[in-house]
Amino acid sequence: MKQTSVTTNAPCWTELGTSDPAAARAFYTELFGWRVDDTARPGDGDYTQMLVGDAPAAAITPRYAPQQPIAWTVCIAVADTDATAARVREAGGRILKDPTDASDFGRFSVAADRSGAVLILWQARAFGGAGVFNEPGSLGWVELLTRDPAGALAFYPAVFGWSVAPSEHYPQWGLDGRDFGGMLTMDDRFPPQVPPHWLPYFAVADVDNTVSRALALGGDVLMPATGVPGGRRIAVLRDPQGAAFGVYTAGAEG
């Protein structure tokens, strides 16, 4: 990820909604070396920020409804949640949760793009988002998996002003020359019941070692460690509760 700090209209945070927050905290603490920050909870209930060193890296939360999938959700920093939510609707997306204040931490809305991929809009107040990017244990890349690539290529630039680095197989999203994500078209390899979604990748020092540790901790491998152009090595894993996430070589930019 070329982004090194929170930037308006770029990914700023990711949080896991899970059926067992305590087990998830234990898994990711062992996998990434995270530690729990019990002093900062921008929300209700068992919302827990996880730290890399002293910097906020991600959050682990309970599911807020029985039908909510066990999954990571990517948050996008916006200047005005209400105005961005209006642009989501204008571009053909949906607002799943209307703009709402999260105490004095910020204002957020839950949105879905044209195909149903969910993301969070975050207007910062006291809490800006992640304090570290592209260092081991922190957010390193975001990837949209969709069955509607043409719709996505129209939707995201209209809502967030993203640039698109064209590619037949893997277009990349960016702002001002700083790419922070990509798009993968879901084909027959993906079961029909898997919905379009955003997948966060966490930077790690050693992808192969992280895959081995995830397996030892009860996780699964969805995509084995693989080398890709640009000197990167990536893998896609699933935690014991069923949430998918990627890992990415720290410092290797796409």
Q: In the predicted model, is pLDDT for residue 251 greater than 60?
A: yes
**195-224 average pLDDT score:** 97
Closest CA to 217 of 31, 50, 70: 31
77's tokens: 């920093």
Contact at 8 Å (CB) between 17 and 62? yes
In a domain, 130, yes or no: no
d(C-alpha 17, C-alpha 11), whole Å: 17
Q: What is the pLDDT of residue 177?
A: 79
**Tokens at residue 6, please?**
């929170």
Question: For residue 93, what pLDDT band results from cuts at 50, 70 and 90?
Answer: very high
> CA nearest 140: which of 217, 35, 241, 52?
52
- Report whether pLDDT(163) > 60: yes
Is residue 53 located within the same domain as residue 116?
A: yes
Considering the domain architecture, whether residues 61 and 161 belong to the same structural domain is answered as no
Q: Does residue 195 lie within any of the structural domains?
A: yes
Whether residues 18 and 64 share a domain: the answer is: yes
Can you give the residue range of the structural domain that contains 235?
139-249
Exposure b/e, 161-198, CB count within 10 A at least 16 = b: ebebeeeeeebbbbbeeebbbbbebbeeeeeeeebbbb
- List helix spans (H) across the chain: 21-32, 81-90, 149-160, 207-216
The model's confidence at residue 160, banded by pLDDT at 50, 70 and 90, is: very high
Q: Are residues 144 and 115 in the same domain?
A: no
- Average pLDDT score over residue span 65-93: 96
Yes or no: say if 160 and 197 are a contact pair by the CB < 8 Å rule.
no
Q: What is the pLDDT of residues 33-69, one digit of tens each?
A: 999 997 755 445 578 999 999 999 999 999 988 888 9
Examine the domain organization and report whether 105 and 78 are in the same domain: yes
Same domain, 15 and 49: yes
Q: What per-residue confidence (pLDDT) applies to 148? A: 97
Burial class of residue 74 (count of CB atoms within 10 Å of its CB; 0-12, 13-18, 19+)? buried
